[in-house]
Amino acid sequence: GQQVMQIPQYQHVQEGEDFTTYCNSSTTLSNIQWYKQRPGGHPVFLIQLVKSGEVKKQKRLTFQFGEAKKNSSLHITATQTTDVGTYFCAGRGNTGFQKLVFGTGTRLLVSP
Amino acid sequence: NAGVTQTPKFRVLKTGQSMTLLCAQDMNHEYMYWYRQDPGMGLRLIHYSVGEGTTAKGEVPDGYNVSRLKKQNFLLGLESAAPSQTSVYFCATDRDFSYEQYFGPGTRLTVT
Protein backbone atom coordinates (compact mmCIF):
# COMPACT_ATOMS: atom_id res chain seq x y z
CA GLY A 1 0.00 0.00 0.00
CA GLN A 2 0.87 3.65 -0.20
CA GLN A 3 3.48 4.83 2.29
CA VAL A 4 4.49 8.37 3.17
CA MET A 5 7.76 9.05 4.95
CA GLN A 6 8.98 12.27 6.48
CA ILE A 7 12.44 13.43 7.49
CA PRO A 8 13.76 14.48 9.85
CA GLN A 9 11.79 12.92 12.67
CA TYR A 10 12.82 15.70 15.02
CA GLN A 11 14.60 19.02 14.78
CA HIS A 12 15.64 21.52 17.44
CA VAL A 13 16.52 25.02 16.20
CA GLN A 14 17.28 28.40 17.68
CA GLU A 15 14.70 31.09 17.13
CA GLY A 16 15.47 32.86 13.86
CA GLU A 17 16.97 29.81 12.15
CA ASP A 18 15.31 28.20 9.15
CA PHE A 19 13.65 24.78 9.17
CA THR A 20 12.74 22.32 6.43
CA THR A 21 10.86 19.04 6.53
CA TYR A 22 10.68 16.65 3.60
CA CYS A 23 7.93 14.25 2.63
CA ASN A 24 8.28 11.30 0.24
CA SER A 25 5.57 9.01 -1.08
CA SER A 26 6.00 5.49 -2.44
CA THR A 27 3.37 6.24 -5.11
CA THR A 28 2.29 9.20 -7.23
CA LEU A 29 -0.10 11.49 -5.43
CA SER A 30 -3.13 13.42 -6.65
CA ASN A 31 -2.60 16.03 -3.98
CA ILE A 32 -0.72 16.59 -0.76
CA GLN A 33 -1.83 18.33 2.39
CA TRP A 34 0.12 19.71 5.32
CA TYR A 35 -1.05 19.83 8.91
CA LYS A 36 0.36 21.28 12.11
CA GLN A 37 -0.21 19.78 15.54
CA ARG A 38 0.69 21.83 18.60
CA PRO A 39 1.81 19.89 21.70
CA GLY A 40 -1.28 18.36 23.31
CA GLY A 41 -3.48 19.50 20.45
CA HIS A 42 -5.03 18.09 17.33
CA PRO A 43 -3.85 18.35 13.70
CA VAL A 44 -4.87 21.56 11.98
CA PHE A 45 -4.91 21.92 8.21
CA LEU A 46 -2.35 24.31 6.73
CA ILE A 47 -2.49 23.93 2.96
CA GLN A 48 -3.16 21.66 0.00
CA LEU A 49 -1.01 21.36 -3.12
CA VAL A 50 -2.43 19.83 -6.28
CA LYS A 51 -0.31 20.70 -9.29
CA SER A 52 3.05 19.27 -10.27
CA GLY A 53 5.82 21.68 -9.23
CA GLU A 54 3.40 23.88 -7.30
CA VAL A 55 4.79 26.34 -4.76
CA LYS A 56 2.63 28.13 -2.22
CA LYS A 57 3.55 30.56 0.51
CA GLN A 58 1.89 31.46 3.78
CA LYS A 59 3.86 34.28 5.42
CA ARG A 60 7.11 32.58 6.54
CA LEU A 61 6.04 29.10 5.35
CA THR A 62 6.82 27.85 1.84
CA PHE A 63 5.32 24.63 0.53
CA GLN A 64 6.46 22.77 -2.56
CA PHE A 65 5.05 19.82 -4.49
CA GLY A 66 7.55 17.88 -6.56
CA GLU A 67 7.46 17.65 -10.33
CA ALA A 68 6.77 13.92 -10.17
CA LYS A 69 4.08 14.46 -7.49
CA LYS A 70 5.80 12.00 -5.17
CA ASN A 71 7.50 14.40 -2.79
CA SER A 72 6.89 17.65 -0.99
CA SER A 73 8.60 20.00 1.41
CA LEU A 74 7.74 22.63 3.98
CA HIS A 75 10.26 25.37 4.68
CA ILE A 76 9.92 27.85 7.54
CA THR A 77 12.02 30.99 7.33
CA ALA A 78 13.23 32.60 10.56
CA THR A 79 11.46 30.29 12.99
CA GLN A 80 9.58 31.66 15.97
CA THR A 81 8.62 29.95 19.23
CA THR A 82 5.05 29.86 17.96
CA ASP A 83 6.19 27.44 15.23
CA VAL A 84 6.72 24.69 17.81
CA GLY A 85 4.76 21.54 17.03
CA THR A 86 4.67 18.51 14.78
CA TYR A 87 4.24 18.98 11.06
CA PHE A 88 2.56 16.24 9.07
CA CYS A 89 2.25 15.80 5.36
CA ALA A 90 -0.63 13.69 4.06
CA GLY A 91 -1.08 12.44 0.54
CA ARG A 92 -3.82 10.91 -1.54
CA GLY A 93 -3.29 8.44 -4.35
CA ASN A 94 -4.37 9.39 -7.84
CA THR A 95 -6.90 6.68 -8.73
CA GLY A 96 -10.51 6.66 -7.60
CA PHE A 97 -11.36 7.30 -3.98
CA GLN A 98 -8.10 7.34 -2.09
CA LYS A 99 -7.79 7.71 1.64
CA LEU A 100 -5.45 10.31 3.05
CA VAL A 101 -2.19 8.69 4.17
CA PHE A 102 -0.29 10.65 6.79
CA GLY A 103 3.45 10.89 7.03
CA THR A 104 5.25 10.07 10.24
CA GLY A 105 5.62 13.75 11.13
CA THR A 106 8.49 16.07 11.99
CA ARG A 107 8.57 17.45 15.50
CA LEU A 108 9.97 20.98 15.64
CA LEU A 109 11.32 22.52 18.82
CA VAL A 110 12.33 26.20 18.80
CA SER A 111 14.46 27.65 21.57
CA PRO A 112 14.31 31.40 22.25
CA ASN B 1 -20.87 25.94 15.90
CA ALA B 2 -18.80 23.31 17.74
CA GLY B 3 -17.16 21.72 14.68
CA VAL B 4 -15.95 18.25 15.65
CA THR B 5 -16.30 17.04 19.22
CA GLN B 6 -15.16 13.83 20.89
CA THR B 7 -16.22 12.18 24.12
CA PRO B 8 -14.69 11.22 26.44
CA LYS B 9 -11.43 13.21 26.53
CA PHE B 10 -9.62 10.69 28.73
CA ARG B 11 -10.30 7.11 29.72
CA VAL B 12 -8.49 4.34 31.54
CA LEU B 13 -9.60 0.78 30.85
CA LYS B 14 -8.54 -2.57 32.17
CA THR B 15 -7.64 -5.31 29.72
CA GLY B 16 -10.79 -7.00 28.45
CA GLN B 17 -13.14 -4.10 29.16
CA SER B 18 -15.18 -2.50 26.42
CA MET B 19 -15.97 1.08 25.58
CA THR B 20 -17.34 3.35 22.88
CA LEU B 21 -15.85 6.62 21.71
CA LEU B 22 -18.25 9.15 20.24
CA CYS B 23 -17.47 11.64 17.51
CA ALA B 24 -20.01 14.29 16.64
CA GLN B 25 -19.85 16.94 13.92
CA ASP B 26 -22.12 19.82 13.05
CA MET B 27 -20.45 20.63 9.73
CA ASN B 28 -22.81 18.50 7.63
CA HIS B 29 -19.84 16.58 6.22
CA GLU B 30 -20.36 13.25 4.53
CA TYR B 31 -16.99 11.69 5.31
CA MET B 32 -15.82 10.75 8.78
CA TYR B 33 -12.67 9.01 9.98
CA TRP B 34 -11.15 7.45 13.07
CA TYR B 35 -7.36 7.61 13.50
CA ARG B 36 -5.01 6.50 16.20
CA GLN B 37 -1.80 8.36 16.95
CA ASP B 38 1.19 6.66 18.52
CA PRO B 39 4.65 8.17 19.11
CA GLY B 40 6.79 8.11 15.98
CA MET B 41 4.05 6.55 13.85
CA GLY B 42 1.98 9.49 12.73
CA LEU B 43 -1.75 9.08 12.26
CA ARG B 44 -3.04 5.69 11.19
CA LEU B 45 -6.53 5.21 9.83
CA ILE B 46 -8.68 2.71 11.74
CA HIS B 47 -12.07 2.92 10.01
CA TYR B 48 -13.90 5.47 7.93
CA SER B 49 -17.35 6.27 6.58
CA VAL B 50 -18.37 7.92 3.33
CA GLY B 51 -21.94 8.53 4.44
CA GLU B 52 -24.71 7.63 6.86
CA GLY B 53 -25.07 3.88 7.19
CA THR B 54 -21.71 3.09 5.57
CA THR B 55 -18.40 2.07 7.10
CA ALA B 56 -15.12 0.69 5.75
CA LYS B 57 -11.83 -0.60 7.11
CA GLY B 58 -8.72 1.50 7.19
CA GLU B 59 -5.11 0.59 7.76
CA VAL B 60 -5.39 -0.81 11.32
CA PRO B 61 -9.00 -2.02 11.87
CA ASP B 62 -8.38 -5.12 14.01
CA GLY B 63 -9.91 -4.94 17.48
CA TYR B 64 -12.23 -2.04 16.59
CA ASN B 65 -15.76 -1.70 15.28
CA VAL B 66 -17.61 1.38 14.09
CA SER B 67 -21.11 2.54 13.32
CA ARG B 68 -22.57 5.55 11.50
CA LEU B 69 -26.29 5.44 12.21
CA LYS B 70 -26.66 9.21 11.91
CA LYS B 71 -24.78 11.49 9.55
CA GLN B 72 -23.45 13.64 12.36
CA ASN B 73 -22.17 10.82 14.59
CA PHE B 74 -19.42 8.24 14.15
CA LEU B 75 -18.86 5.73 16.95
CA LEU B 76 -15.71 3.71 17.58
CA GLY B 77 -16.03 0.61 19.73
CA LEU B 78 -13.47 -1.51 21.50
CA GLU B 79 -15.07 -4.83 22.42
CA SER B 80 -12.20 -6.24 24.48
CA ALA B 81 -9.50 -3.67 25.16
CA ALA B 82 -5.82 -4.66 24.99
CA PRO B 83 -2.74 -2.72 26.16
CA SER B 84 -1.72 -2.36 22.49
CA GLN B 85 -4.76 -0.11 22.06
CA THR B 86 -3.31 2.49 24.40
CA SER B 87 -3.17 5.53 22.16
CA VAL B 88 -4.63 8.92 21.33
CA TYR B 89 -7.69 8.60 19.12
CA PHE B 90 -8.72 11.35 16.74
CA CYS B 91 -11.91 11.70 14.78
CA ALA B 92 -11.88 13.74 11.59
CA THR B 93 -14.34 14.82 8.93
CA ASP B 94 -14.20 16.29 5.46
CA ARG B 95 -16.67 17.39 2.82
CA ASP B 96 -15.27 14.85 0.38
CA PHE B 97 -11.90 13.42 -0.45
CA SER B 98 -10.71 16.52 -2.29
CA TYR B 99 -10.83 18.75 0.75
CA GLU B 100 -9.05 19.22 4.02
CA GLN B 101 -9.89 17.23 7.13
CA TYR B 102 -11.13 18.78 10.38
CA PHE B 103 -10.05 17.00 13.53
CA GLY B 104 -11.66 16.64 16.91
CA PRO B 105 -9.69 17.35 20.10
CA GLY B 106 -8.81 13.68 20.65
CA THR B 107 -9.40 10.98 23.26
CA ARG B 108 -6.46 9.73 25.30
CA LEU B 109 -7.04 6.07 26.12
CA THR B 110 -4.90 3.98 28.44
CA VAL B 111 -5.41 0.24 28.74
CA THR B 112 -3.75 -1.39 31.73
**Cβ-Cβ contacts under 8 Å for A88 (sequence gap 6 or more):** A6, A34, A35, A36, A37, A43, A102, A103, A105, B42, B43
C-alpha–C-alpha distance, residues A60 and B13, integer Å = 43
Name the amino acid, one letter, at B53. Answer: G
Nearest CA in chain A to B5: A42
Confidence of residue A97 (pLDDT cuts 50, 70, 90): low
Interface check B58 vs A, CB under 8 A: yes
Contacts of B88 in chain A (CB under 8 A): none
C-alpha–C-alpha distance, residues B79 and A48, integer Å = 37
Residue B39 confidence (pLDDT): 85
Cα A59 off chain centre by? 15
Confidence of residue B4 (pLDDT cuts 50, 70, 90): very high
Min Cα distance B82 → chain A (Å) is 24
**Do the Cβ atoms of A100 and B48 come within 8 Å?**
no
